[in-house]
Structures are given as C-alpha cells and as structure tokens.
Amino acid sequence: MMEINVDIGGTFTDCLATAEDGRIRTAKALTTHHDLSIGFLRAVEDIAADAGLDVDGLLGRTTAIRYATTLGTNALIERAGPRLGLLTTRGHEDTVPIGRCRQWADGLPATATRDLSRARRPEPLIEREQIAALTERVDSTGRVVMPLDREEVRDRVMDLVDQGVRGFVVCLLNAHVNPEHEKLVRTVIEEEYPDIYLGRFPTILSHEVSQRAGEYARSMTATINAYLHRFTSDRLSSLRDELRGRGYGGELLLVHNSGGMGSLAATTPIQTVHAGPVSGLYGSRHLAQSHGFDKVVTTDMGGTSFDVGIVVSGSVRFYEFNPVIDRWHVQIPMMDIAAIGAGGGSIARVDPIIGIAVGPESAGSNPGPACYGQGGTEPTVTDANLVLGYLDPDNYHGGKLPLDRRRAERAIERRIAKPLGVSVIEAARRIRKVVDEAMGAEIFKGITVKGYDPREFAVFSFGGGGPMHACGYARALDASKVVVPPHSSVFSASGAAGLERLHIYERSVWMVLFNPLVKQLFTDFDGFNAIVDEFHARAVSDFAGQGYGADDIETVVELDMRSTGQLYVITIASPVRRMETQDDLAAVIKAYFEEYGDRFGDLALTKEIGISIDAIRLRAWIPRAAPQRVERAASGQPVSAARKGTRTCWWTTTEQPRETEVYDYAALSTGHRLTGPAIVEAADTNIVIEPGWSGEMDGYGFFTMRQEDNS
C-alpha cells in the first residue's frame, strides 16, 4: 500500500510516494497549466513505472493522496472567476472600492512600491455597480438597531441578477457579532433560486468565513471564497472523479495554507491559495524538531519563485493572521511565507538604471528556459547555470529533458551580453550573482522583521534550484551553515506526508487583562471560557463528520495580544486552555512578556503597561505520527567511489574557470566530506559547493555545507 503526496509548482509538479515498507519513490513532471491533473498523472505514471505497476494498479493500492494545488492562485492571477454581487449595509457600499490606506501597495514587490507615480489600486473582483445596499443595522454589541426588510433584499437580489451576477457575497456591519441579518439574506436568495433550479447561485456569508472585526478584510475574505468557489470546486471534483474511476478509493486530501489538510468537502477555496509552499515549511518544522534545530529559515527555490519561511521552536511566529492574497488583505490564519520571482525559469533582462534584473517574470514550464528547446527565447537563471557549467545537459531532469547549451548562449548573448558589452560567461555570472543577492536579501528581511538575528539561523535549502544556489544566497546573508535535506528536489511534496487534519476557529474580542490606570486585573473568566468551549464544541462536531471522536482531537488556544497604546499585535500560544484562577491569568501575561522580550528585546518591555486580548483562536487537529527518519547504512567506501568525473565551471568568486569534481549524490554515504568547488548530481537537482565551502553527508541523508573560514 502507498501514500502519494503532490505539490504543483509553476514549472514542475513534484510527487513523492511512500510505501508500507518505508521505501520512498519520487518523480517530477512539467506542470500543465491548462489542466493541472495532466502533469499530476504524468508524475504518478513515473512512480507507477518505478514500482512495476500501471497507473490504475498504483492508485488501487493507494490509501491517501495529499494534494497541494495552485488552482486558486491561478484563477486569481487569470481573473477567471464569475461575475459576483456584494450585498452590504447601506452607507458602506464604498468600503471595498476604497479599501485600505495602503491597498495600492498590498501584494506588490518592493521595487514596484517605490514607483509612486505608477501606483494603482488592484482591479476589483466586484465592480462598484454590482455592490447593493441594504437598509439595516446591528451595533457593535450585536443588538439589532434597524431590522432588515425581506422585500428590500428580494428587490436588490433581482437587480443584481439582472446585471448578470452569478454569485453573491453578503457582508453586513457587525455580522461577526450577530449574523441574524446575513442568514436572512441567504434565506431570501434560496427562496428565489432553490436547489432544483439550474440557475441557483452560490451565496457566501462573511460571518461563516471570518468572525473577526474589520469590514473590508472580512468582505475580501468572503469575496475571494466566492470568486474561487465554482472554479476550484469543478476542477477538483473532476480530478477526484477521475482518480476514483482509475481505482483510487480514498479521500482526496487538500493541503491548506494554514499548515494542515482536509477533505474536499471540508475545504474552503481560500485555504488552497499558496498552499504548495506550506508543505515545505511544515516538513521543515518536523525536521528541525527531530534534529535539534531551534531556529531555521526555509528556502524553496523552484522554477518560478523563491519561498522563504521561518521556523522557531515554541513560537507561532511562522503564522500570518492578516495575510495579503494576490492584492487583497484578508482574515485567515495562514503560514507566513514570503515569495519573490526568483526561480530557475526567472527571466533576466537589462534594466537601464540598475543593470541586470532577474524576475519576477518567468518562462514557466511552457515554453520554459531557452535551453529547453521548446520555443523559449528569453535568458533565464537555468540558462546561466548551464553556461557556467553547473548543469549536465545530458542528465537534466534524470536525462528526460536534454538541454541545449547553444540556445542558452544565444539567448544570453542577444539579451544581456551585447547590450552590456560583456562576454556571455560574464553575463551569466552576473545573472547568477544578481539572483543570489536578491534571495539573500529576501531571507535577511524575512528574519529581521520578526525581530531575530540571522546569524542564529540554520538555512534549509530545497526545491529543484535551492541547493544549486544555496552557497550564493547564504553568502549574501552571511550565514555559515546550509542544510540540504533528503529528497530536497521534491521536499514540499514530502512535507505533505506529515500534515495533519486541522481546523482553526477565531473571533475578535476586547478583553483588558490589566488596566494600568486603575490597577485592575481581568476577571471575566466565564466570558473567555465560553468562547473557547464554543470553539471546542465546533471542532468536535466538525471532526465527527470526518469519522473522529472527541478523544482523537488535540487543541491549543492562541491569543492575539498587544500593549496599551501600541498597534502591533503579538500572537502567543496560551499556556492554559481555560482561565479558572488568577494564576492562569498570570501565566498568560507571563507568556506574553516572554514572547515580547524575545522578539524586541527585554529593554523594550515595560511590564507596568496595560495588556489586552484582541482575538481568541483555537487550533484543533488530529495528531498523526510524523514520518520516521530512515538512517542510511554506511557504504564503507571512500568518497572517491562517488566521483563521476570533472567538469569545467565558472565561479562568481574566481576570475578563471576551474576544473571541478563531480559526484553522484546517490553514492555518497555517512561521513563523506567534500571540499569546494564541487558539484553533487542528484536525479532532479544539483548541489553546488562553491570555493571556500565544504559539505558533509550524515546518516539520515542531510548534506550540510559550511563556509571553511567560519567553521
């Protein structure tokens, strides 16, 4: 029996299958953007062939498929959703069109935000003409101040349908406190367009998506859910049906951007957006815990993007509770991953101001880099790596995708070398240097903005291109140690194997734990506990529908807290699930102080200041055993037995080319140590050890590189 884990990237679809006997099989296929299931099934075909089976035979023996999809991300990029209508409280029709003060900058790269003259707000998912007002009002305590008239709802719905609306978003003022009016709107819509009608419209209520304050963010969270609903539902249902038709009898489990997974029926569309990199971050968390790494920065370089995440033991700092999806600020708990357009397919160009620029545009999987010979004519990072000698043109992608060095040289010469008046080699060296420095800067920013010292972190490098550039961006970061985990080229897919079924419940509150003006401590323990108990009851109910009992569930309470007079909110894992005594309150306050001091320094902490809770959150999950580490048996052979030969390579740190030793990754064994410059070739990636670095293999397949002068 097998389990299959899939991560769909912009260029490659990664697949990792684990068998009952512990054997792991991996495969990569070019991503087919017009139909993601094609690339997925091609990767499964390779897994099946390695196991001596056909696809139907393999799927018949598969007990679980964990699927990280980019359908939602692609639909937002392509603006492929339906025409939607928004029903909101009268007087608040312009909340979404106006947006936030910094909405023009949300989701843009740093270089774009500096050009204020061209700054524009994003094109709306719902046009102003499709926003209708309802005369109603619920105050901040949940009291109905002005009742909602059913006939007015009916009239506004009819008006929107006449304008071509094919789905409804309902976001009424303070509905997260009292959803009575939102539920009435849905009732009226269902009366007019019941299930038996072909023209029935999906209706998304904001309070069911988010129970936090903030009408704009709650509206956008509901809007993105509605926008992606039919598109992702149709595509994923079609894939599920195809898998069932070919023998698969289990659930299609979808990876969530919250760091968990769920069945198709228990997944909202917004949870699938940016879900792919989450698997890699979550897998790194398990590896960091099992190998004693306290602080890790994860770096995933694929064909299209470079993703950076932070893993810190005992902290929830790798979560973003108010993320930006595409160009919109939303309210969902999402693992915090920063991404820039720096992958193997990122296109290099000459910028009249800064010289060479790389990305964010990518050649993707079709046509791909110029060296793929599939019609691409733009120079990419992969083309530069081939010209510099880091890639074997006959052994790329396991030999299935031969590379054309001459095409790569022509692309670099035409677009980069001639305009700058330099050689092709020098142009390729500059491309690599630019992309390495961009990745190093992104890592540095990702660590420092969370209040950490980058020198305290180990760098986990994975993805098809990560180990090839790890020394370069670690040098730009001034990091001394880089760890390449086993199965690094499909590591995000392998991380999905450790994901758990997870539900997160949250609600905005206003609870003052300590009021410094009157020296008063919080006493409303019943109010706090009522919210936590409600969340726990919902978790029990939700998991019961998936076949799990209350005893199977584990939970943790998280609190969004801040000091009086400060806008910055800090999230902590509460040391207690319920508050019963003043000692429990003291434990919560102490945990806040510790997190605050660790992040900003003890000198920044004033314990006499007031403290409040802005939101209560409950994470509930079904624990499962983490994948077991498999220790490799030492081969007993010297490192020379893994040597494949030499290749002439050009290095960014030396002026002349050097004859470089090339080694076979599969032949490296425990204790084997290499000194740079050297290249280690695996089936779907290369580890490039630059001059001044060394690397060593341990018994679990971790290849650790260190700078010689810092070791």
Q: pLDDT (tens digit, 9 = 90+) per residue, 377-417?
A: 999 999 999 999 999 998 887 777 889 999 999 999 999 99
Please, what's the largest Cα pairwise distance for the chain? 83
Split at pLDDT 50, 70, 90, the class of 710 is very low
Q: Is the pLDDT of residue 319 over 80?
A: no
Structure tokens at 187: 């009732």
Q: CA–CA separation, 671 vs 700, rounded Å?
A: 11
User: Beta 346-351 vs 355-362: how paired, if at all?
Assistant: antiparallel
What value, to the nearest 5°, has the Cα angle with vertex 617 and ends 611 and 621? 145
pLDDT at 305: 80
What are the CA-CA distances from residue 14 to residues 6, 171, 501 (Å)? 6, 39, 21
Split at pLDDT 50, 70, 90, the class of 457 is confident
- 259-282: average pLDDT: 83
- 278-287: average pLDDT: 78
Query: Which residues have C-beta within 8 Å of that of residue 225, sequence separation ≥ 6?
Result: 204, 209, 268, 269, 270
How many percent of the chain have pLDDT more than 70? 97
List, in sequence order, the alpha helices (H) in 360-465.
Answer: 381-387, 405-412, 418-420, 424-448
Q: CA–CA separation, 4 vs 43, rounded Å?
A: 10
328 vs 231, higher pLDDT: 328
pLDDT at 198: 63
Beta strands in 440-500 (DSSP E): 458-462, 481-484
Split at pLDDT 50, 70, 90, the class of 421 is very high
Split at pLDDT 50, 70, 90, the class of 517 is confident
pLDDT at 475: 81
* Structure confidence by residue, pLDDT tens digits, 204-247: 999 999 999 889 999 999 999 999 888 888 888 888 888 888 88
pLDDT at 666: 85
Contact status, residue 320 vs residue 331, Cβ threshold 8 Å = no
Q: Which residues of 682-698 are buried (b: 16+ CB within 10 A; e: fewer)?
A: bbbbbbbbbbbbbbbbb
- 659-673: average pLDDT: 90
Q: CA–CA separation, 32 vs 40, rounded Å?
A: 8
Beta strands in 256-409 (DSSP E): 261-263, 295-301, 306-312, 319-320, 324-325, 328-329, 334-335, 337-340, 346-351, 355-362
Length of the chain: 711
pLDDT at 90: 95
pLDDT at 466: 87
- 309-318: average pLDDT: 69
How many percent of the chain have pLDDT more than 90? 37
Q: Is the pLDDT of residue 281 over 90?
A: no
644 vs 194, higher pLDDT: 644
Q: Is the pLDDT of residue 711 over 50?
A: no
Least confident of 260-269, 313-322, 375-384, 483-492: 313-322
Query: Which residues have C-beta within 8 Å of that of residue 428, sequence separation ≥ 6?
Result: 383, 384, 385, 387, 388, 412, 650
Adjacent-strand bridge partners of 505: 618
Identify the CA nearest to 296 among candidates 279, 313, 319, 274: 313
pLDDT at 84: 94
pLDDT at 85: 95
What is the average pLDDT score of the chain?
86
345 vs 631, higher pLDDT: 345
706 vs 72, higher pLDDT: 706
pLDDT at 449: 80
Identify the CA nearest to 615 among candidates 560, 569, 562, 573: 560
Q: CA–CA separation, 688 vs 248, rounded Å?
A: 40
Least confident of 57-61, 145-149, 387-391, 450-454: 450-454
* Structure confidence by residue, pLDDT tens digits, 44-102: 888 888 888 888 888 998 988 888 887 777 778 778 788 999 999 999 999 999 888 87
- 310-330: average pLDDT: 77
Handedness of CA 431, 435, 436, 441 (dihedral sign): positive
Q: Is the pLDDT of residue 316 over 60?
A: no
Split at pLDDT 50, 70, 90, the class of 120 is confident
Most confident of the ranges 19-28, 171-180, 352-361: 171-180
In angstroms, the first-to-last Cα distance of the chain is: 44
pLDDT at 646: 92
Q: CA–CA separation, 309 vs 319, rounded Å?
A: 10
Structure tokens at 636: 């007993």
- 586-608: average pLDDT: 84
